[in-house]
């Protein structure tokens, strides 16, 4: 059963709120995917902090009108699932990782930084490490000199103990 006017307004308001906080939106065609697989995709999206929703294209168009994501409007045809995230790479990563294991999910288009992305652009964006991964790498780089200095001091202290004995 279709939504009434109030229901449609509520959906557009909810999606508009998600769009306002998003840095990236990625769309994929989900025709032929089994419900169990879609449930796994939704679970993966939840764990990554990604808003994932199947929407009527007309409602999605209304939600992105007047935003940096308006360029997607022309690509909104067919059965699409929309992935939105505040993390620049999370939305692309969730759909791209799922598409690797399920050939029925077809990456269609996305927008990041106001630029329209095709399938190759989405895959390139998904290959970038997430913010948390980058922070952990930075912490490892910052920790290495301190750890090396501590090891050197320990070796020097041990050497002095051997000489004194």
- 17-45 per-position pLDDT tens digit: 888 888 899 999 988 889 999 999 999 99
Q: Are residues 139 and 165 in the same domain?
A: yes
Q: Are residues 40 and 72 in the same domain?
A: yes
Q: Are residues 12 and 22 in the same domain?
A: yes
Question: 146 lies in which domain range?
Answer: 130-165
- Which pLDDT score is estimated for 144? 80
Q: Are residues 107 and 138 in the same domain?
A: no
Q: Are residues 136 and 103 in the same domain?
A: no
- 65-102 per-position pLDDT tens digit: 888 898 888 888 889 999 999 888 888 999 999 999 88
Q: Are residues 41 and 87 in the same domain?
A: yes
Residues 6+ away with beta carbon under 8 Å from 29: 78, 79, 80, 81, 105, 106, 108
Q: Are residues 109 and 140 in the same domain?
A: no
- Can you give the length of the chain in residues? 165
Q: Are residues 145 and 80 in the same domain?
A: no
The model's confidence at residue 165, banded by pLDDT at 50, 70 and 90, is low
Question: How much is the pTM?
Answer: 0.75
Q: Are residues 142 and 61 in the same domain?
A: no
Distance CA 83, CA 89 (A): 11
- 101-153 per-position pLDDT tens digit: 888 889 999 999 888 989 899 888 888 877 777 788 888 888 888 777 788 87
Name the domain count of the chain: 2
Q: Are residues 124 and 138 in the same domain?
A: no
Q: Are residues 112 and 139 in the same domain?
A: no
- Which pLDDT score is estimated for 2? 66
């Amino acid at each position: 059963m279709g939504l009434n006017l109030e229901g449609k307004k509520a959906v557009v308001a909810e999606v508009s709120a998600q769009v306002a906080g998003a840095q990236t939106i990625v769309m994929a065609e989900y025709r032929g995917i089994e419900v169990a697989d879609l449930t796994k995709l939704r679970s993966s999206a939840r764990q990554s902090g990604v808003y994932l929703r199947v929407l009527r294209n007309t409602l999605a168009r209304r939600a992105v009108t007047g935003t940096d994501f308006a360029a997607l409007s022309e690509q909104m045809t067919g059965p699409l699932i929309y992935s939105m995230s505040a993390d620049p790479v999370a939305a692309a990563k969730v759909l791209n990782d799922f598409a690797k294991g399920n050939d029925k999910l077809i990456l269609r288009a996305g927008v990041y930084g106001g630029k329209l992305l095709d399938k190759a652009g989405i895959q390139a964006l998904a290959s970038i490490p997430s913010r948390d991964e980058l922070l952990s790498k930075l912490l490892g780089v910052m920790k290495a000199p301190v750890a090396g200095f501590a090891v050197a001091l320990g070796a020097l202290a041990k050497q002095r103990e051997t000489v004194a004995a």
